[in-house]
Amino acid sequence: MFVHALKINEKKCIGCMRCLKACPTEAIRITGGKAYFQEHRCIDCGKCHETCPVDAIYINQDDFEMVHQFPHSVALIPAVFLGQFPEEIRVSRIYNALEDLGFRHVFEVESAANIYAEAKEHFARENPDIRPLISSFCPAIVRLIQIKYPSLVENITPIKAPLDISAIYCLQELQNRGIPREEIGLFYVTPCAAKIAAVKAPVGEKRSIIDGVINMDSLFNRTYRKIKEQGKNYIPKQSRTINLSSDAILSTLTNGERRICLAKNSYSIDGIQNVMDFLDKLENDEVEDVEFLELRACDQSCAGALLSYENRFLCGARMYARARKAAERERNGEVPREREMDKMKDYLLENSRVDAVQPRSMFVLDKDRSKAFEKMERINKLKAKLPQIDCGLCGAPTCESFAGDVVINRIGLSRCIFYQRHLERKNDITRQECLAAMNAVWGDDRMKEE
């Protein structure tokens, strides 16, 4: 079973169908006038969350108070978190505010960008026949491929994301100082729902070593409020804020991986629909000689993620400004923070691999192949009877998905209002039965006669 971070508050849901139409994997249905997830289809991309007009779809997170349960709590922050703040707020101020909120240590997960890139290069050399290699960075993309493009799962690099490699480093570093594991709390500050799901149910391994996940917009509000409380005259405490390299800072933005990738023929694609369009072509052999694909579900990659407080373009601009300053420091001989991880490079590379990603079909008709073929034939016959206008009034996003629901879930064909007219002409259904079918989808309130 997948674990999902996206949840639906039925009390708020108005059954408007916006989420139904927005979902790229057709994971949402309407019943009783309320939206619900078909969990085996959901990839936690968050498109439903973006389109919901009443905030009925929310993103679950761990209780922030968990931070105070550990003497050595670590904030694993992405570079886009720092990009949420105005440029006049120095990184040291942000680190200090996080420490005042209860974190003992702050660590940017992009510190592992070079280790992550090297692990991919090792895998590429060991597996020259697997092309194109597909980045495992974006968990929504990994899940998308698992359920919608299962023929491409072997192309996903079985490498832990930088946040997981950074977590391994932080845990080992603190334990090397004599701090017992039970006193160490690793908390990832996530910009999206998919990474919550990836921490709670990681692909290719049994469990994550990360102890909790905090939504980035929530922590931004806490941190910014703390900075405001400190006032303009606040003198930051000495805080270990060694700067990242320019490549590491930009690694989570679109083209970030590709800029440190050795592959000559590679593509960076962001936006879930753009990714799906490209994968359709790849699966149909319309694209050839590609070595590496950096695929991200969100526009502008993590800068445009669901839990970003700031406009994605402003966040990206701040990150590029920070990267230019980092590049200048590098030219002046400053050693970037990620170089400190080199002392554990062999250990981190050894522990960067996960098991091969397995396909998880979103449309399993039957475990028995012969029965599955029979059901597919039934679906095709049903599709021919339907209007093919994808109106959604049946509670499914498309006529094709409705036909599948009828065959697999035994939903009655009478839920289609067009097919109802066909049945009425044959006197095979009564007006009361038509009303009952619509009630099942849209609830009694909407179907009341005035």
> How close are the terminal C-alpha atoms of the chain, in Å?
44
Give 10-residue mean pLDDT values along the chain (450 residues).
87 95 95 93 94 94 93 96 93 92 94 93 94 95 94 95 96 96 97 94 90 96 93 71 84 89 84 96 91 95 94 95 91 81 93 91 74 87 90 93 88 89 87 88 72
Q: In this predicted structure, what is the pLDDT of residue 205?
A: 86
pLDDT at 194: 94
Query: Cα separation of 419 and 427, whole Å?
Result: 12
Please state the φ and ψ torsions of residue 238, each to the nearest 5 degrees: -65, 120
How large is the angle between the packed helices 431-446 and 417-425, nearest 10 degrees? Answer: 160
Residue 385 confidence (pLDDT): 85
Pairing assessment for the beta strands 72-77 and 184-190 based on DSSP bridges: parallel
Peptide bond into 132 cis (omega under 30): yes
* CA–CA distance, 212 with 228 (Å, rounded to integer): 26
Do residues 142 and 156 touch, judged by C-beta distance below 8 A? yes
pLDDT at 373: 86
Structure pTM? 0.91
* Torsion sign over Cα 133, 199, 339, 337: positive
Q: How far, CA to CA in Å, does 438 sit from each of 388, 423, 428, 443?
A: 19, 15, 16, 7
What pLDDT is attached to residue 311?
94
